[in-house]
Amino acid sequence: MKILYLLILIAIPTWGWTPLRSLCSGLYCKLSLENRKLDYYSPATNIVHLELSSCQDSDLKTVLLTPRLRWLTVLHCEGNFSTTHLEAPPNLDILRLRLGNVTDLPILANISKLEKLDLRRNNIVQLANKTFQGLTNLRELNLQDNLIRELPEKVFHPLKKLLYLDLSRNQISQLSETFLPRDIEMIELNLRENPLTKLEFAIFVHPKSIDFIDLTNCQEMRGQLSLPFKIYTLNLEFSGVESTHTFWLAELKAANSKVNDMSMMPHLKVLDLRGTNLTWLRANEILRRYITLEIVDLSNNFIRFIPSEDHQSVWPTFKKLNLSRNGLWDLPVNCPLFGVQLTSLDVSYNRLNRIDMATFEGAYDLESLFLQGNQLCNFEYRSEKLYNLKELAVYDNDFDGSYCREMEGYFGNSSLILHRSSRGYACLKPEEN
């Protein structure tokens, strides 16, 4: 009887079940709850990317049948699931554990060849210092959209090759000054939409460089932000940061922020100060300070006027300049902002009722001009000063019907792009035809 019982137990796992290879003949295999009964004795060496809809131990055993697996996606993990089977594929590069209820992440130390780990949209509350120990090849770590409130001081220290770290949309209010490995060179650190009160780095123990840091909507941050390492782009949109000191910065995005004081940044090329309540007096001070600027967005401010050229001052040579939605009344002749390298100018949705073509006297390379939403009655669109123009927007002005038809006919025979409004007209509103 015992022998017969053992024979039945051996037969149960295979009798009536479907071999994995017959379900998934290609490189990608997605197993839903309906086809979880598999023949555990039929390895599928063809599968490179496997997606499982459940995180139960019986489902994770499927991984044992995929020796060539490089990419594993597991959905709806619950609680402290076992990672034993995840360690089986010898060349697993990408692991995604998403849409689960994993409050306490288990240690993943033995998946040593892992390069990308995606843990977004779970309910992770805490991590342990040893959670990522052994993941020395990890380059991308996604922890966004969780419930993390604090991080152990050395939790990321084993990740010497980490390039991308996303901690956005968590509940992190404080970070240790040494939460990142010393001298690490990263591409992106995303901390947006966290209740961070400050971000500080130790003077002698800090990253070597981070190309992009995102602090968007970190409204609880106050005072000064000082970054003692190389950084290319800093995003402070909708943040509470009031002062920045970042010597190596090349691009500052501070739209709708509280930034009102910026240190000397001799490498700054891109500056976005949309919606920061700037008047010309303050904008003038900022623009004179950073002569390396090439792309500037000052839209949605209170710059009502711009003075004529000041021959005693050195100005940046802008390539792209946005002054839309400022309430501008006039563009002066010999304006210091419209130099020889200017290729794009946006003065849309202001109060301009005239434009003197002498304004663009030095802007020989102007290619894009946006004038829509003003009070213009005429515009010297045939001017030789617009010879290099490639795109133009003039809709929502006060041109009459014959003027609009003439303009549209003139540009209709050229390669210039005459932009249309969201309602489809380029100059004259349909009801005015």
* Predicted confidence (pLDDT) at residue 59 exceeds the cutoff of 80: no
Q: pLDDT tens for residues 209-227?
A: 999 999 999 999 988 999 8
Residue 222: both structure tokens together: 């106050």
> How many angstroms separate the CA atoms of 133 and 146, rounded?
21
What is the DSSP track for 90-150?
Answer: TT--EEEEESSB-SBPPP-TT-TT--EEE--SS---B--TTTTTT-TT--EEE--SS----
Q: Which two tokens stand for residue 194?
A: 């966290």
What's the CA angle centered on 382, arms 377 and 388, to 5 degrees? 120
Class of domain 269-433: alpha beta
| pLDDT tens digits, one per residue of 144-160 | 999 999 999 999 999 99
* Side-chain half-sphere CA neighbours of 61 within 13 A: 11
Specify the residue for token string 């991590």: 127
Identity of residue 149: R
Query: Tens of pLDDT along 395-430?
Result: 999 999 899 999 999 998 889 999 999 999 999 776
DSSP label at residue 431: G
* Per-residue CA distances from 130 to 10, 110, 158, 165, 180 (Å): 39, 11, 9, 17, 15
Task: Give pTM, 2 decimals.
Answer: 0.88
- Helix residue ranges, H only, 24-114: 57-60
10 pLDDT more than 50: no
Instruction: Specify the pLDDT at position 34.
Output: 65
| CA distance linking residue 345 with residue 248, whole number of Å | 27
Helices (runs of H) and strands (runs of E) counted in the chain: 5, 23
pLDDT in tens, 243-284: 998 888 999 999 999 998 888 889 999 999 999 999 999 998
pLDDT reading at 313 higher than 70: no
**Average pLDDT of 30-43?**
65
* Non-local CB neighbours of 20 within 8 Å, separated by 6+ positions: 29, 38, 39, 42, 43, 44, 47, 62, 65, 66
- Nearest CA to 11 out of 40, 45, 35, 43 is that of 40
Return the structure tokens found at 218: 């970190």
Helix (H) or strand (E) holding 346: strand 344-346
CA–CA dist 257, 138 (Å, integer): 34
Per-residue pLDDT, 16: 46
Reported as a single tens digit per residue, the pLDDT across 169-201 is 999 999 999 899 988 999 999 999 999 999 988
Position of tokens 């555990």?
A: 40
Spatial CB neighbours of 19, under 8 Å, sequence gap ≥ 6: 38, 39, 42, 44
Q: What is the mean pLDDT of the segment spanning 24-35?
A: 80
Whether residue 221 contacts residue 241, with contact meaning beta carbons closer than 8 Å, is answered with yes
Distance CA 124, CA 143 (A): 9
- Give φ, ψ of 250 to 5 degrees: -110, -25
End-to-end CA distance of the chain: 96
At 88 the pLDDT is 75
Cβ(303)–Cβ(275) under 8 Å? no
